Amino acid sequence: MIEIDHLTRRFGNATAVDALTLTIAEGEVFGLLGPNGAGKTTTIRMLAGLIGKTSGEARVADCRIGDPATARKLRGLVGLMPEEAGLYPDLSAARTLDFYGRLYQVPAGTRAARTERLLTMLGLWDRRDDRVRTFSKGMKQRLTIARALINDPPVLFLDEPTANLDPEGAKTVRDFLLQLRGEKRTILLNTHQLAEAERVCDRVGIMHTRLVAVGTPGGLRGAASARATSIRLAAVTDAVVAAARAVRRAEVTVSGNTLTVPVGQPERDNPELVRAVVAAGGDIQFVSGAVPSLEETYLKLLDGERLDGEKSDRNDKVAR
């Protein structure tokens, strides 16, 4: 549905997006993660036909981006929730959706029915005739989602859909995203919220001008960090630590009464580890897998990327 091939965008001398290559399948929910200035918004804007590319190619819903012949068609097939709401404070919610529906050439009957359905689903139907000026931030955010869906687009771009929302507001939006996922729409969403990406996305990509890593949230975590086993004991003794260290020949960390030991394959290594700890006189209370969070993975991958970047900068200087 979305095929991106070495897509690059420069602003003057600065590269915002560097040779991004990525394919997103129909019906997939893909999350683009990355720090401020990573090029996420620039990517979405290029794919939605709002700004041009410097080089590379991309096809969205079978339209080549940057092709004047299909530019109008492309914009008609895409729904966009931009970084900033950009609502008209003096229009009502219903009038807002009607306005955009007309511009997407949605017939009057469908427009009215869809407005009712979207506003009802997003909890705004009772406020449909109130001016957007009187809406809370969360209500505005939900209205921008409704606006992005008024043309029933097969492809949806969401730029930080839960930014600036309180936990409850974020949950409402997230639940709606999960609902959209059931409708077989292709969704590309930008976010800083790793927990959100983990819950909503089929795959995530970590971006920092370049695409640093791509995979399922679980897969990325596994790839980036070795696994570890945590053992909680009644008391941690030197004998226990020595025993654990002897089994795995690895750095063992102790925090309170918990021992964390890196393991290669938990299924193979844990029984031996537990036996050794028990033999050393340890009273085991709990054993659990210490899976790194997506956040840890993310920070680790970005750190690696920054180091690589510095290295190549140095190499550049040496070359010059």
Ligand X SMILES: Nc1ncnc2c1ncn2[C@@H]1O[C@H](COP(=O)(O)OP(=O)(O)OP(=O)(O)O)[C@@H](O)[C@H]1O
- For ligand X, the binding residues (CB under 6 A) are 11, 14, 16, 34, 36-42, 83
Residue 94 half-sphere exposure toward CB, CA atoms < 13 A = 12
Is residue 43 close enough to count as binding Mg ion by CB under 5 A?
Answer: no
d(CA 290, CA 106): 51
- Find tokens 């003794």 and name the residue: 237
Smallest distance from the beta carbon of 221 to Mg ion, in angstroms?
A: 24
> What is the nearest approach in angstroms of another protein to the Cβ of residue 181?
22
The amino acid occupying position 124 is L
Give least dist CB 160 to ligand X, A.
Answer: 7
CB of 144 to another protein, least distance (A): 8
Q: For 252-290, give the secondary structure using H, E and C.
A: CEEECCEEEEEECCHHHHHHHHHHHHHHCCCCEEEEEEE
Which residue of 41, 96, 141, 144 would you call a contact of Mg ion, by CB under 5 A?
41
Contacted entry of another protein, ligand X, Mg ion, none for residue 103, CB cut-off 5 to 8 Å set by kind? another protein
Please give the residues from 77 up to 96 whose contact with Mg ion meets the rule CB under 5 A. 83
C-alpha distances out from residue 51 to 10, 28, 216, Å: 11, 24, 29
Stretch that binds Mg ion, among 17-25, 41-49, 246-254, 269-277 (CB under 5 A): 41-49
> First CA to last CA across the chain, in angstroms?
42
Task: Tell me the two tokens of residue 37.
Answer: 């200035």
d(CA 66, CA 262): 49
Q: Which does 181 bind (CB under 5 to 8 A by kind): ligand X, another protein, Mg ion, none?
A: none
Q: In this chain, which residue has its C-beta nearest to Mg ion?
A: 41
Binding residues for another protein, rule: CB under 8 A, are: 11, 45, 48-52, 72-73, 75-76, 78, 80, 82, 84-91, 95, 99-100, 102-105, 131, 144, 147
Place of tokens 């991106």: 4
Residue 282: CB minimum distance to Mg ion, A? 50
Q: How far apart are CA 218 and CA 310, in angstroms?
A: 28
Residue 100 interacting partner from Mg ion, another protein, ligand X, none (CB closer than 5 to 8 Å by kind): another protein
Binding-site ranges for Mg ion (CB under 5 A): 40-41, 83
